[in-house]
Amino acid sequence: MEREWVVEESVVVAAEPRAVYAAVADLRRMGEWSPEVFYIWVRGRAIAPGTKFVGFNRIAWRVWFTTCQVTAAVPGQAFAFRVSTFGMPVALWGYRIEDVSDDPSAPRTRLTEYWEDQRRDNRGAAFASLLGKVFTGVPAERRAELNRKGMRATIDRIRTAAESA
């Protein structure tokens, strides 16, 4: 099987785009959405491009952290961040938020979560992949498959919360 470098999953949410964005961009709630992230540490309240944060993750008994930096924060449209470990690029994660409603009284928003593996064609890519396997137990060749499964769970949890708000 050929390695996947980019993965994305989408869901339609019965909520306004700004409400969906608010859920996605509230980094402190990521532990509610993601099956892998259990805590986010971020300094301050404002989330904007350049904001740095640390994500704490787990798979079974394995626990690790990553350093992240917000690259896009456009209310009602997009939220993205780059992930690194020990200064080496690992991934780009993001969310696209699109109004797909035909009827203003019935809001519908397409939420797309995407991931792009940054561990290729850069200095330290092989080492970053090795660290990923050591800390997570997941070989680089299986990371896209695991992320796809996690993304489905994440966006479904966001959908459920946004629709019940």
Is there a domain that residue 36 lies in?
no
Give per-residue pLDDT as tens, 45-91.
Answer: 889 999 999 999 999 999 999 999 999 999 999 999 999 988 888 89
Q: Domain for residue 108, yes or no?
A: yes
116 beta partners: 6, 92
Burial class (CB in 10 A: 0-12, 13-18, 19+), 111: buried
Q: Classify residue 115: in a domain, yes or no.
A: yes
Give the amino acid at 97: I
Residue 94 in any domain: the answer is: yes
CA pair distance 138, 146, nearest whole angstrom: 8
DSSP designation for 13: E
Residue 92 belongs to a domain = yes
Q: Can you list the positions of beta strands (E) in 22-77?
A: 37-42, 52-59, 62-74
Average pLDDT over residues 90-103: 96
pTM of the model: 0.91
More confident residue, 126 or 12: 12
Q: What's at 25, amino acid-wise?
A: A
Looking up residue 138, the CATH number of its domain turns out to be: 3.30.530
Taking the CA atoms of residue 13, residue 14, residue 18 and residue 24 in that order, the dihedral angle to the nearest 10 degrees is -30
Domain that includes residue 156, residue range = 6-25+74-164
The pLDDT tens digits for 131-149 are: 666 677 777 778 889 999 9
**Total structural domains within the chain:** 1
Whole-angstrom distance between the N-terminal and C-terminal Cα of the chain? 41
**pLDDT for position 86:** 83
**Domain contains 20:** yes
